[in-house]
Amino acid sequence: MPELSTRSSVSAVQSEGHARHEKHLWASLARLIRLPNQSGTLLLMLPTLWALLFASHGRPSLRLVLVFAAGSFVMRSAGVVMNDLADRSFDRQVTRTRMRPLASGAVTAQQALLTIVALLIIAGALLLTLDPFTIALSPIAVLLAAIYPFSKRILPLPQAVLGVAFGWGVVMAWAAATHSVPLPAWLLYAATICWAVAYDTIYALQDREDDLRIGIRSSAILFGSYAWLAVGCCLMLMLVLLGVTGWLNGLNAGFYGMLAAIAGFLSQQVLAVRTAVSPARAFHLFQQHVWVGWSILVAICIGFL
């Protein structure tokens, strides 16, 4: 009986340890896909909603809204895992990123690859609800997401690659709504690229010193003390492109009034970036762009009233 009791105790301890390991793994996978922070998902999703509103003249299909909202979450999750997998050796050398699951060893490369495969399968299932033309555009989104992490090693402006990748959802959303990609869709795509370059330059200010030390390229390094000017020019061009897109779609004066208010807010951001900003301040300014995205969505809705 004592021997049986000892075996039972050992088995219970092993089961408890296994349960703890599984719980820790799931928590690490949640951190890997940035589940606690969905700013990136919203920055990917909101331009697709702009596109659906424009393409449907203010009356988007609820089905398409749900598909692109879910697709934004899945593809952003897959994208950050691809990024962390490619950058894990660099992340260990950066203060802000050294405790990411792959960099710290909480998640293995094999587990990360399996996570990417699972997410892409889910994305594929969502795609099957769309028309053949939109499905044909989808491989470009995966290719761009895979290319972005490596652009930081080669290109002086990897934020532009991020913008091209994030903005592709605009093209797909417009195609899903109208089965075509007319000129206004490409103008909105360009506006989204400009927006991404602006907010990701602000984001990159957090890591400028570490990136210089380890040899990672970014727009914050490229523009240096003129980063504020680059951000300002990108934001101004974004607003102009949005304005032209609205004009081509016959939006009313309310849309332009909202754009003017957004421009006033963004000008304050540019002035803030002109001075030295702490990493915490840079991240706060970056997060404000989620509200900028929602404000543009409201502006488009008002424009169709």
Q: What's the pLDDT score for residue 91?
A: 86
Alpha-carbon span 267 to 236, nearest angstrom: 9
pLDDT digits 0-9 by tens, 150-199: 888 888 999 999 999 999 999 999 999 999 999 999 999 999 999 999 99
Alpha-carbon span 215 to 147, nearest angstrom: 18
Which residue would you say has higher pLDDT here, 88 or 246?
A: 246
Q: Which of 20-34, 87-101, 190-204 has the highest mean pLDDT?
A: 190-204
What 8-state DSSP symbol labels residue 130?
S
Band the pLDDT of 93: cuts 50, 70, 90.
confident
CB distance 289 to 273 below 8 Å:
no
| Mean pLDDT score of the chain | 91
Helix (H) or strand (E) holding 175: helix 158-178
CATH of 137-305, one of 1.10.3260.10, 1.10.10.60, 1.20.120.1780, 3.30.1340.10: 1.20.120.1780
Listing DSSP states for 196-248 in one string gives HHHHHHHHHGGGHHHHHHHT---HHHHHGGGHHHHHHHHHHHHHHHHHHHHHH
In the chain, where are the structural domains located? 61-129, 137-305
Q: What angle do CA 228, 159, 301 make, to 5 degrees?
A: 80
pLDDT digits 0-9 by tens, 233-242: 999 999 999 9
Which residue would you say has higher pLDDT here, 149 or 73?
A: 73
Residue 267, classed as helix, strand or coil, is helix
Residue 189, classed as helix, strand or coil, is helix
Q: How far is CA 235 from the centre of its chain?
A: 17
Residue 194 Cα distances to 8, 237, 240, 297, angstroms: 63, 7, 11, 17
Q: What's the pLDDT score for residue 12?
A: 46
Q: What's the pLDDT score for residue 7?
A: 54
pLDDT digits 0-9 by tens, 43-82: 999 999 999 999 999 999 999 999 999 999 999 999 999 9
Band the pLDDT of 24: cuts 50, 70, 90.
confident
CB distance 67 to 130 below 8 Å:
yes
Q: What angle do CA 164, 171, 238 make, to 5 degrees?
A: 55
Please state the rounded mean pLDDT for residues 134-141: 95
Least trusted range by pLDDT, from 15-29, 91-105, 111-125, 268-282: 15-29
Torsion of CA 135, 64, 170, 58, to 10 degrees: 140
Alpha-carbon span 130 to 109, nearest angstrom: 32
CA nearest 220: which of 271, 193, 298, 230? Answer: 230
